[in-house]
Amino acid sequence: MKISVCAPGKLMLLGEHAVVYGYPCIVTAVSSKIKVELENTLSSKIQIDAPQVKDVSFVEESIRIFKEKFKFKEDGLLIKTYSEFSSQYGFGSSSAVTVATLYGLSRLFNLNLTKKQIFDLGLKVTLNIQKVGSGFDIAAATFGKTLYFIRGGKKIEKLNIDELPLVVGYSGIKASTPKIVQQIKKRLKKEKKAIFKIFDSIGKIVEEGKKSLLEKNYQRLGKLMNENHTLLKKLGVSTKKLDQMCEASISAGAYGAKLSGAGGGDCMIALVPLSKKETVEKAIENVGGKILKVRNNVSGVGYEKNI
């Protein structure tokens, strides 16, 4: 038996870093996907063919946790992965491959786990490997669309919105999310009051952003994105290149712009009027950014033909 499933990557719209400490965030699933093919074989071992996946430990840990929980003894498995995006972009390739592997195993062994069960297992995999994380990227890969999310899945709310007019720019620098999260943790020990004041402000921006999204008030949402970026700069997670890309976007007519994700590199996003999209893209390229063509607000994990 052979099964092919896909899970999407993600972009953080509002709330990065604060989400690790129990504040809400808003994340959207993007059209760049990871495909996982799973097949029973006559072999007595598990084979993993994942050339595009930077860290196969997420696939290995997904299998280990699945076997442990559901007590399946069968070792004859061939798992192949195919990625539509490079792991360097910060779209959450490790989360997408984790969710796709777990979903595929669930279908291969006729367990038909719910998406909440897939999310819970995926979060366990992430925490076992990275030791840190809130689970928002696992939630985006599992449930898809655009989510209002609180750490550990305490709240996972799908927002009833359309695809957003976003431009996504890559800074050319690959960042390590766990490393940056640990840096904030260290700063927190020395500057607890100041850091939590920033987190409080980010939390308020997320709540306002949720209202603006639901009302399609993009001008207000853009201003909130700018405010969120300023606070992330205060946290010390932005870079000169990300700042330049955001500033260029706003000068070219974007409603607002901010880094997306842990920072230190990876991507930024700009919310734009459709009439300004090409102008904003050129402005980002002019300061050395690379435009990534992805749709947002897409479906979560599913059979390849259904995603």
Q: Where are the beta strands (DSSP E) in 117-207?
A: 146-150, 155-158, 166-170
**Tokens (6 digits) for 250:** 């706003």
CA pair distance 107, 64, nearest whole angstrom: 16
Positions annotated as catalytic residues are 137
CA pair distance 72, 293, nearest whole angstrom: 41
- Report which secondary-structure segment, H or E, holds 27: strand 25-40
Spatial CA neighbour of 65 closest among 123, 23, 150: 123
Contact by Cβ (8 Å): 246, 270: yes
**Tokens (6 digits) for 124:** 């366990």
Q: How many CB atoms lie within 10 A of CB 275?
A: 9
CA pair distance 73, 91, nearest whole angstrom: 34
Contact by Cβ (8 Å): 181, 136: no
Whole-angstrom CA distances from 37 to 1, 81, 299 are 11, 6, 19
Positive or negative: CA dihedral 136, 296, 176, 234: negative
Non-local (6+) Cβ contacts of 71 within 8 A are: none
